[in-house]
Structure 1
Amino acid sequence: MVRCSNSLVGILNFFVFLLSIPILSSGIWLSLHGNTQCERFLDKPMIALGAFLMVVAIAGVVGSCCRVTWLLWFYLCVMFLLIVIVFCFTIFAFLVTNKGSGETIPGKAYKEYRLGDYSEWLQKRVNDNHHWKNIRSCLYDDKFCNRLEIFSDIYRNASAFSKKDLNSLESGCCKPSNDCNFTYISPTTWNKTSGTYKNPDCNTWDNDNTKLCYDCQACKAGFIDNLKTSWKVVAIVNIIFIVVLMIVYAMACCAVRNNMKDKNNYASF
C-alpha cells in the first residue's frame, strides 16, 4: 500500500513536471526565434531550468509512486543541494542590495543615482565592458527613453520636467546629470553649456537617441537600483520557496523510509 507521503510527493512532482514543459518550450522557442540579443540572452537559462525541473520531477514521481528507492535518494540529494543553493543566493542577494539609494535633488521630483553608492560587486559587474554591452542592448531595445519624448508637449520647460517622477532607469539613462546644468529642450534633448565638468557623465551625454546617457555612470547606477528592487522581491520569494522545499524534502524522506520498510517487510516473507 502506497502511503500518504509517497502520494503527495508524486502529486507535487507531477505538477512540477507540467510546469517544466512550458519553461523548456519557451527557452527552445527563444533560441530559435528570438529577434534581439536581449531575448536570446534568456534562452539557455530557461532551457537549463526546464530540463532540470523535468528530470527532478520524473525522479520524484517514479521514485515515490513506483517505490524506486535509489531514485528517491537521487531526488533527496538534488533537493538538498537546491535548498543550499537557494539559501546561499538569498543571503547573497540581501548582502549586495543593502547599499545605495537615489539622491534627492532639491526642487526635483526625481532622484539621481551615483554608481559609487552601491555594492562593489555590482559595480564591477556593470563596469565590465562585455556585461554592460549586453545590458545596454537590452535597455535600448526596451525604448523606455522614447516614451519620455512622447510627453514633450506636457514638459515644455525645465520647470515642468522637474516635476516628473522618473524611475531610476529614466533618470540615469535618459537625461544628463543635474551637475551638468545643461539647457533643457525636451526630456531627451539638452544643449551642452560651455566649460569644464567635474562629472564625467556630462561629457558622455549625447542627444542622439541611440546614445543619450546609456554609457553614463548614472545609467549603470540606475540599472543597479532597479536591479536591487527586483532582487529583494526575488529574495523574499526565495524564503517562501525554501520553506516549501523543506516541506517537500521532509515528505520525500518519509517516502524513502516507507520504501525501506516495504522492502524489509517483503524480504521477511
Structure 2
Amino acid sequence: MGSLKEVANAFNPTVTDKLHSPNAILVCVDDHTILMQKKSEQKIYPASLTKMMTTIVAIENLPDLQKKIVLPASMFQKLYKENASMAGFVPNEKVKAVDLLYGVMLPSGAECCIGLADHIAGSEQGFVEKMNQKAEQLGMKNTHFTNCTGLHDEKHYTTVKDLSILLCYALQNKTFQDVFTSSRYSTSSTNKHPEGITFQSTMFKNMENPVINGGKIVGGKTGFTDEAGLCLASLAEKDQKEYVLVTAGARGDHQTEQYNIDDALEVYNDLGKSKFNK
C-alpha cells in the first residue's frame, strides 16, 4: 500500500500557489495516483491528524466494538492541563469502544484516545509502539509518533504524503470509513451520561457547504496546534471517483477563517480543469 504513483504534468502551479497551506497532496483513491503535491515530503507536525492512525490501530486491535471501557480519573488532569481537545466524557465513565472511536475523530477527543490506548496496550506508550509499527508497515518512511493525541512534540512528525498513504489504507476499513464520513453521532447511554453525548465533526461544523463542482466532500479530520497550523485530511467524491487531500501548516487558528477548509474547497473545485487532472 505504501506506493503512490505520480502523474506527469499533473502538478499545476496555478492551483498550488493559491493555497494557504504550505504542504499539500491530492491522491486518487482508486489507483493511488498523486494528482497534485506541494512540499509533500517536507516534515510537518500532524496535530490531530495523528488521530487517524490512533483510530485505525484501535479498530484493528479491538475484537469487540461494543465492549465498555472505563476512562480512569487519573488521565484527565494531565489532559486538562495540556488544554487538549476533549469529547466531553468525564472521569470513571464507562463508554462503548465504538463510541470512543467516534469521540476520537468527530470532536477530536483526547480522553477517547488515551482510554483506547490504555485498554488496548496497557499504556499510551505501548499503543504508540503499535502506531509506529503500522506506519513502518505502510511505508510511511518519514513518520514518527510519540503520542496518540497529536499534542505537540518535536519528535512527533510526519509528511502530508505519509498521511495520504495512511488515509487511503484506513478508508479500506468499513468501520473507519463510517467514522470518517460521519457529520454527527450520538453515543449510547453511559453511567455518567444517561442520554448519551452527541458529537459533531469539527470539519463539517466549520464547512458551510460540502458540495463541490461535480460532487461533494464526504469526510474529514481537522487538526490544529500553534506549531502545526491548520491541517485537514479529507475525502471527496467527484465524477464517480474518490479523492484524498491532505493539507498542513496553514496560518490561523480556531478563531480565524478556516484556511484548511478553504484550501480543500479550492483544490476539489479545480480538480478536472485543464492540466490539473489528466
TM-score range, shorter chain: under 0.3
TM-score normalised by the chain length of structure 1: 0.25
Q: Which has the higher strand share?
A: 2
Structure with higher Rg: it is 1
